[in-house]
Amino acid sequence: MNDTALIAPSTGFLRRALRHPSFLTGAVIALAIAATAALSLVWTPHDYTAIDIALKMRSPSADHWLGTDPFGRDTFSMIMRGAVTSIAVSFVAVGIGMAIGVPLGLLAAARRGGPIDHAVMRTADFVFAFPALLIAIMLREVFGPGVTNAMIAIGIFNVPVFARVAYGASLPIWQRDFIMAARVAGKGRALITLEHVLPNIASVLIVQATIQLSLGILAEAALSYIGLGVQPPMPSWGRMLNEAQTYMAIAPRLALAPGLTIVATVLGLNLLGDGLRDLLDPRLARER
């Protein structure tokens, strides 16, 4: 992220952040998920791959906090480890989307009305016409199933999203008087984009990034659900939902555990995004 956007409101940033309820709630949830994922790399209550048929379909107990699945695997351990997959896939996908989409959108806006603008934005429209699912299926046909392809597929889906958001948010900025003032001060298109346009659309991009992060988690779950994402025995929230499907009538908790985790994560990321948008704007930085 551009440093002006982050340095500018530094006066009392932490103090204001601690008083912002949605930022605080979102940050706590996001940190908790991230910490759980990190912890699962070194420790889980049980081995998340260990199959023990004798222990199958246990209800929650002191030993198995969220019970076990039909193969006797510990659900809580699988959710912990599944967080790694979800976070990795959605963050990498958002990273791909922003790294390619934002510069393209900014370029099109800086050259608005010209051939570059049309070329970039019409290409974005074209890519946008392919759902992530279709891209994932195409990638699997070429490279075989796997978590990397899921990341790339969701990432490609994110590119036109960020290109459009960056483009749409930049256009009104380019009409503002301070852009003309910057031109009178001798700045070219590239410098204006970097110093004036990008910081002023940063809040929009941050909010969009949190939305795409939560959509990425959902997309990863969807791809894993149909078997295009992470492969067994590595757990993911989507694959857990998939496997719980046949047991919905007898053990709904198997679907509820990953399902509610996804809901909480998405909610937390959205709250975090809303809070960040407010906190990064110096005009809102006055004491409440």
Partner 1 sequence: MSLLSIEDLDLSIAGTPILRKVSLQLAAGEVLGVVGESGSGKSLTALTVMRLLPRQVRTAGRVLLDGTDVLALSEAAMCERRGRAVGMVFQEPMTALNPLKTIGAQVAEVFSLHLGLSRADAERRASSVLERVGLPPARIPPTRYPHELSGGQRQRVVIAMAVALSPRLVIADEPTTALDVTMQAQILKLLRRLVAEDGAGLMLISHDLAVVAAMADRIAVMRRGEVVETGPGGAAAFEALVHPYAVALREASAHEPARPAAPPGEPLLTVDKAVRDYPLPRPHPFAARRHNRAVDGVSFTVHRGESVGLVGESGCGKSTLARAVLALEPLQGGRIALAGHDLAGLRGPTMAAFRRRVQMVFQDPYGSFDPRHRAGRIVGEPLRLLDEPIAPDARGRMVAQALVEVGLAPGDADKYPHEFSGGQRQRLAIARALITRPDLVVLDEPVSALDVSIRAQILDLLADLQTRLGLTYLFISHDLGVVRAMTDRVMVMSGGRIVEEGDTRTVLDHPRDPVTRGLVDASQHLDRLLSQA
Binding residues vs partner 1 (CB under 8 A): 4-5, 8, 176-178, 180-187, 195-196, 199-200, 282-283, 285
> Which tokens sit at 44?
């889980």
- Cβ of residue 171: shortest distance to partner 1, in angstroms? 16
Contacts of 185 (CB under 8 A, 6+ apart): none
- Cβ of residue 230: shortest distance to partner 1, in angstroms? 41
What are 191-200's contacts with CB under 8 Å, separation 24+? 192/110, 193/106, 193/109, 193/110, 194/2, 195/4, 197/106, 197/109, 197/110, 197/170, 197/173, 198/2, 198/5, 198/106, 199/2, 199/4, 199/5, 199/8, 200/173
Of 34 and 118, nearer to partner 1 (C-beta) is 118
Of 140 and 196, nearer to partner 1 (C-beta) is 196
The 3-state DSSP class for residue 74 equals strand
H/E run at residue 127: helix 115-128
H/E run at residue 236: none
- Cβ of residue 46: shortest distance to partner 1, in angstroms? 50
- Cβ of residue 121: shortest distance to partner 1, in angstroms? 17
> Which tokens sit at 24?
């605080």
- Cβ of residue 101: shortest distance to partner 1, in angstroms? 22
- How far apart (Å, rounded) are the C-alpha atoms in residues 39 and 45? 11
Of 181 and 248, nearer to partner 1 (C-beta) is 181
Of 8 and 255, nearer to partner 1 (C-beta) is 8
- Cβ of residue 35: shortest distance to partner 1, in angstroms? 32
